Structure 1
Amino acid sequence: MHKKLLYALNMLDNHQKNIATFIHLSTFSRFIFPLGNFIAPLVLWITNKDKSTFIDNHGKEAINFQISILLYTLVLGMITVPFFLFNIFSGIHFIDFNLFDSIHINIGKPSPLLYLGGALGGLAVVGFIVELALIVRASLKAKEGEAYQYPFTIHFIK
């Protein structure tokens, strides 16, 4: 049966909608304490998942999305960081400081690797903005009593 219809049959109350909404919004706690985007929704989900399937499904979605984002970030970082390191340690000097004999600053032409690394870094910034927008959207859907599935999510918890 379709989740939206199933939720309508279960007659969701405001308390269930609020908990599901706070599960999604609690991922913003990462701006307050480290790993808050995992700990806060996990605690809310574990303590409330038995109250309704609506809360259980929203909790799983929020946690799966955060794990997926972490995985994507790690992969993007493993791809991006070497481009910067290769540029720094290669023979091509983007910025050359010589402060011991005399003050000498040389700003040469940057390596194409630096451009590629910068583009990947820009992609990370765009991904971060999209992540924030998706969290807000999921929160609004939960507040309306609707099911929501984050795009690009790997379902680790089923």
Structure 2
Amino acid sequence: MRQDNQLIVIAHLSQLITLVTGFGSLILPLILWLTQKEKVYQMDAHGKNIINFQLSLIVYCLLCIPLILLFGLGLLGFIALGLISVIFPIINAVKASRGETPKYPLSLNFIN
């Protein structure tokens, strides 16, 4: 296994591809994680955190849809999720560049 903090930083920042293309925030990190988890030291832990975070965002977005229809609070939820989905990948990419293994807030454990 090799140490490659740059690739781990790219994995965290790859979640922001949605800002450019409209999709891919789950697909691109998933591909990076699946292809590099055996080759790059710490990629497995970072990849699991990223995938769990992205799956959690999908669940929270699905929960916001009925909240829009019922209470109108879903719009606030979507705004908060949008901010979280942009801010935390950047923060965690900086932490990963320093060699830390960051955790994402509100992340459910789908993959252990």
**TM-score normalised by structure 1 residue count:** 0.64
Which ranges of structure 1 fall in alignment gaps of 5 or more residues? 1-9, 84-115
**4+ residue runs of structure 1 moved beyond 2 angstroms?**
31-35
After superposition, what is the alpha-carbon deviation per residue over 1:72-128, rounded to whole angstroms, capped at 9, x for unaligned? 011111221x23xxxxxxxxxxxxxxxxxxxxxxxxxxxxxxxx41x4312321231
After superposition, what is the alpha-carbon deviation per residue over 1:100-158, rounded to whole angstroms, capped at 9, x for unaligned? xxxxxxxxxxxxxxxx41x4312321231122111111111111110111111111111
- Matching of residues 1-150 of structure 1 within 5 Å: 13=3, 16-80=4-68, 82-83=69-70, 116-117=71-72, 119-150=73-104
Equivalenced residue count is: 112
Give how far 1:68 is off.
0.2
Q: CA RMSD in A?
A: 1.9
> Percent identical across equivalent pairs?
29
**TM-score normalised by structure 2 residue count:** 0.88
Which ranges of structure 2 fall in alignment gaps of 5 or more residues? none
Give how far 1:34 is off.
4.4
Give how far 1:19 is off.
1.1
Give how far 1:47 is off.
1.0
Larger radius of gyration: 1
Structure holding more strand per residue: 1
